[in-house]
Structure 1
Amino acid sequence: MTATSVPTQMHAISTETRSTVDDVLDYARRRALYEDVPLDKPMTPRDLSRLASGSITADGIGARRAIALFENVLAPACLSTDHPGYLSFIPSAPTKAALAFDVVVSASAIYGGSWMEGAGAVFAENEVLHWLAGEFGMPQGSGGVFVQGGTIGNLSALVTARDAARRRNRDAGRADPGRWLVVCSAEAHSSIASAAAVMDVDVVTADVDADGRLHGASVSRVLDEHGDAVFAVVATGGTTNFGIVDDIADVGAAAKEHGVWFHVDGAYGLAAMLVESMRPAFAGVELADSVIVDPHKWLFAPFDACALIYREPSLALSAHTQQAEYLDTLTGKPDWNPSDLAVQLTRRARGLPLWFSLATHGTEPYRAAIAHGVDLAARIADEIRERDELSLVRDPQLSVVVFRREGWTLADYDAWSSRLLEEQHAFVVPSSHAGEPVLRFAIVSPLTTFELLTGILDTLR
């Protein structure tokens, strides 16, 4: 500690701390209200080391210099996932209301893990979760929690599923199998395999049809073969690479017939259920024992938020409630603690930005914004069909469009992608399908236009 330092220096209300808050909020306001969001691009470690090293010192460099370093060097070395031309992976497009309220969540110092400490925040989050459960057709009494992302959501749901299977075996006087199994398709998100590795269980993939969809018949064959070793079946409500929706009703019926937990991973695509014309594609979600959807994807919330919803939250409480003497005052109460419903204890109230945006705008603008992505994908797919040098790999079902540039190799795609980013036109990286390099547009932002997409296609000539 330097001679001038005092323990309260960083926390006291002073001219210095007021200036720090003002400087940070000024930048946040500028960034949130950019008319033209910069796409930006990564820098090499060498360049960042040259431009940004030395910020951590004994006495600090001051808020003004620190925010200037972030705004002018560090932030431009990060891609803006909310740029209308960010079309890779699954983009983010938070509303201005959600962005602004994310600042409030941090400023409020709310612990979102227990009802005792964060009742107001938890109540607001539960309002959103109950609304989503109703949209998905899940019964009264369903509930859940907002977790970090789809990986944690899927892991938490599968931990609950295995715990429920173990309890059933114990109640029936049956021994657990030597190895537990989870069934999904080869198109399932990589987080299912990741969760299985963490849990030390095995994944068995069931066959899909020519369109990449999982059906009940192939799931039933796996269940018949492996019997009681299977503790969960996972259907996907919109795969990341193609936006494919499994035959959820058929898969769910097979899981129910065999008495197996049914989980729907809708991290990207399940939000499309808010559009009336898309609801038939998701028939059967109401059969699920658990579902996830990521608001930081197609529900226009900032990173990071995954809504995990259980048909019977009490089963999650049994699986996840942590036991410790210092936690005794929190457990066993009639109100659910969010920390008892997933793999977590310390928890940010990450559902509040979505709550605020929904409360501000209402649900109808959300339906319109999601419909925009679906409609635009169909429109740009038609455009691709009209161009001789391009061809669709598969008709889009949601808002992901996968296509190829005839005659191009992976090296051609990589060079084109790098040039597109270097020119700050868009961020589109190649993917692959059945060993073939392909391109894909993942459309989320309502600010992404047909003209922007056709302009990108023009560069492929």
Structure 2
Amino acid sequence: MEVILMEKQFKRLPLLKIVFMYDIDMESVEMTLDVMKYVLNRITSVSPELGHPKSEEELRALVGETITEEGIGGERAFQLFKDVLIKATVPIDHPRHLAFVPASPTRASIMFDLVTSASSIHGAYWMEGAGGIFCEMEAMKWLVSLTGLPQGAFGVFTSGGTAANLSAMVTARENWRKNPENIGQKGLMITSVGAHSSIKSMAKVIDADVLLVETEDRMSQEDLKEKIDSLSPEQRKRLFAVVATGGTTNAGIIDDLDGVAGICEAENLWFHVDAAYGGGALAADSVRHLFHGIERADSITIDPHKWLFSPYDCGAIIYKNPELAKEAHSQEGSYLEIFKDPGAHGFNPSDYQIQLTRRVRGLPLWFSLAMHGTDKYKSSVEQGISLAQLAGELIKENPNVELVREPSLSCVLFRRKGWTPDDYRNWTYKNHREGFALVTPTKWRTADDFETIARFCFINPDTTKEDVLAILNSMD
């Protein structure tokens, strides 16, 4: 009776003429053309404008209120973005963006990022996204081949290195807890001081403790053994994983992967390699030998959006035994049962990492690889290494600066003689403010203290010798 009354009430409501956001009208057509024109101009630009940030108050004063009940219209919103907002950003692919770990997505990958969004593919389960997931699997096969992991190894694309590292450590912990004695116990992992900040952050998420090997340089087999030998019996019982780095963010240093692997195998510990930045160099014949031992890892993180020229956001986690990851991450629910049905056969990426809903973020990488071929990828990575070596030579020739250490991978650490930390900061802000370059200082341990120094990280193959010289000359 109640349902019938409700139906009658609704039937008495007047019919409304509703204009939906999905209507194809002249404004949407014109906006599509404007957006495509902007994209075409942007991806064909060799040196985009290097913007600089403004305060929130400055931006609000310039653009006003953009979210209103009636909307401000696509033309107005897009004009504000082009005239004001984009100029308050720093493009990661600028050839003089040498800070942090920049990126340089290929034009092919950027174009296909548009296709990926326009195609509205849900990349969690094969049943919905088979074609897109197949493309991701093709790209992943190439990534796995670079690592040298044994037959059966495979992985999935994630939002980045943090999600990849987290997925790996959840898998490692759940595998450790298969021992009934470890159920409910708080795990412990070991990494080095030079490891990426996400390792410590990720440990908080899974409620694990982290012990650090006190070195920003290469973590050796001896360093790790000494740390393990120093553990109390209670700590040793809780130890389940070691995280080595395949190219530190700060300096491009590669840990003793083979030595660490030997310790992990002897001690029955999960061996994870965070190669989010450095993993791209697995494609470079000139430095591939430096990663000896990575083929013994239980899991490996690589970020294609760093040194494999993919747009944000595209990380990857690779497992030696993917079934262990599936046991740890596969989600259950009555609404998910159909995806696990034999009739929905296929590879389900969400079974192997922490995210359920996901875009097929490996598609732009796949398209760029398919278009250009792996040889061009290898030569582009080699270019970053060559630029770092060139920068090292230019620094040695410049009387005002000196190397802190020899370049490693595509990272160069150097100091400006006589400068204080304030000098480095002021130099960074000046270059940034003038739209010339973004090069930021970092810190490096010298003796018992940390020294503020300058740092280059080369990713973009379009960076030139003239760019490097101009930046060094700006320190005069």
The TM-score, its normalising length taken from structure 2, stands at 0.92
Deviation per CA, 1:166-223, whole angstroms, max 9, x where unpaired?
A: 11x13xxx34484310111111001000010111110011244xx7001122222333
Report what 2:473 is aligned to.
Answer: 458
How far did residue 57 of structure 1 move?
1.9
Cα distance, 1:146–1:416 mapped onto 2, change above 3 Å: same
Inter-partner Cα distance in structure 2 for 1:36 and 1:87: 14
How far did residue 25 of structure 1 move?
1.7
* 1:195 counterpart = 2:202: yes
Secondary structure at the counterpart of residue 30 of structure 1: helix
Code of the residue aligned with 2:466 in structure 1: it is: E
* 1:329 counterpart = 2:344: no
Inter-partner Cα distance in structure 1 for 2:253 and 2:15: 61
The TM-score, its normalising length taken from structure 1, stands at 0.95
Cα distance, 1:12–1:439 mapped onto 2, change above 3 Å: same
The equivalent position to 1:318 in structure 2, one of 327, 344, 357, is: 327
Would you say the 8 A contact 2:176–2:182 is kept in 1?
Answer: no
**Alignment map for 1:92-241 (pairs within 5 Å):** 92-167=103-178, 169-170=179-180, 174-176=181-183, 178-208=185-215, 212-224=217-229, 225=231, 226-241=235-250
The equivalent position to 2:273 in structure 1, one of 264, 276, 281, is: 264
- Structure 1 residues 127-136 or 333-342, which shifts more? 333-342
Inter-partner Cα distance in structure 2 for 1:8 and 1:136: 53
Inter-partner Cα distance in structure 2 for 1:20 and 1:406: 52
Would you say the 8 A contact 1:146–1:351 is kept in 2?
Answer: yes
Deviation per CA, 1:259-291, whole angstroms, max 9, x where unpaired?
A: 111101000001111111211100011001110
Secondary structure at the counterpart of residue 45 of structure 2: coil
Would you say the 8 A contact 2:228–2:236 is kept in 1?
Answer: yes
Secondary structure at the counterpart of residue 111 of structure 2: helix
Secondary structure at the counterpart of residue 330 of structure 1: helix
Would you say the 8 A contact 2:47–2:95 is kept in 1?
Answer: no
Unaligned runs of 5+ in 2: 1-13
Deviation per CA, 1:68-127, whole angstroms, max 9, x where unpaired?
A: 111111111111111000010000100000000000000000001111110111111011
Inter-partner Cα distance in structure 2 for 1:102 and 1:451: 31
Inter-partner Cα distance in structure 1 for 2:172 and 2:246: 19
Cα distance, 1:428–1:16 mapped onto 2, change above 3 Å: same
Report what 1:86 is aligned to.
Answer: 97
Inter-partner Cα distance in structure 2 for 1:46 and 1:348: 34
How far did residue 36 of structure 1 move?
2.7
Code of the residue aligned with 1:459 in structure 2: it is: S
Secondary structure at the counterpart of residue 244 of structure 1: coil
Would you say the 8 A contact 2:383–2:461 is kept in 1?
Answer: yes
Code of the residue aligned with 2:206 in structure 1: it is: M
Report what 1:309 is aligned to.
Answer: 318
Inter-partner Cα distance in structure 2 for 1:262 and 1:385: 38
Inter-partner Cα distance in structure 1 for 2:331 and 2:401: 54
Would you say the 8 A contact 1:264–1:290 is kept in 2?
Answer: yes
Inter-partner Cα distance in structure 2 for 1:457 and 1:319: 49
Cα distance, 1:386–1:105 mapped onto 2, change above 3 Å: same
Inter-partner Cα distance in structure 2 for 1:123 and 1:220: 42
Report what 1:300 is aligned to.
Answer: 309
Report what 2:10 is aligned to.
Answer: none
Cα distance, 1:113–1:178 mapped onto 2, change above 3 Å: closer
Secondary structure at the counterpart of residue 177 of structure 2: helix
Secondary structure at the counterpart of residue 416 of structure 1: helix
Report what 2:256 is aligned to.
Answer: 247
Would you say the 8 A contact 2:405–2:414 is kept in 1?
Answer: yes
Deviation per CA, 1:346-388, whole angstroms, max 9, x where unpaired?
A: 1011110000000000001111111011011011111112222
Code of the residue aligned with 1:114 in structure 2: it is: Y
The equivalent position to 1:360 in structure 2, one of 368, 371, 376, is: 371
Code of the residue aligned with 1:433 in structure 2: it is: W
Inter-partner Cα distance in structure 1 for 2:236 and 2:263: 13
Inter-partner Cα distance in structure 1 for 2:16 and 2:202: 46
Code of the residue aligned with 1:91 in structure 2: it is: P
The equivalent position to 1:279 in structure 2, one of 270, 288, 294, is: 288
Report what 1:417 is aligned to.
Answer: 428
Code of the residue aligned with 1:124 in structure 2: it is: C
The equivalent position to 1:62 in structure 2, one of 36, 49, 73, is: 73
Cα distance, 1:215–1:16 mapped onto 2, change above 3 Å: same
Q: Percent identity?
A: 43
Inter-partner Cα distance in structure 2 for 1:5 and 1:101: 40
How far did residue 29 of structure 1 move?
1.6
Would you say the 8 A contact 1:11–1:17 is kept in 2?
Answer: no
Inter-partner Cα distance in structure 1 for 2:320 and 2:387: 34
Report what 1:394 is aligned to.
Answer: 405
How far did residue 65 of structure 1 move?
1.5
Secondary structure at the counterpart of residue 300 of structure 1: coil
- Structure 1 residues 380-389 or 143-152, which shifts more? 380-389
Cα distance, 1:433–1:62 mapped onto 2, change above 3 Å: same
Inter-partner Cα distance in structure 2 for 1:142 and 1:6: 56
Would you say the 8 A contact 1:177–1:229 is kept in 2?
Answer: no
Secondary structure at the counterpart of residue 291 of structure 1: strand
Would you say the 8 A contact 1:81–1:92 is kept in 2?
Answer: yes
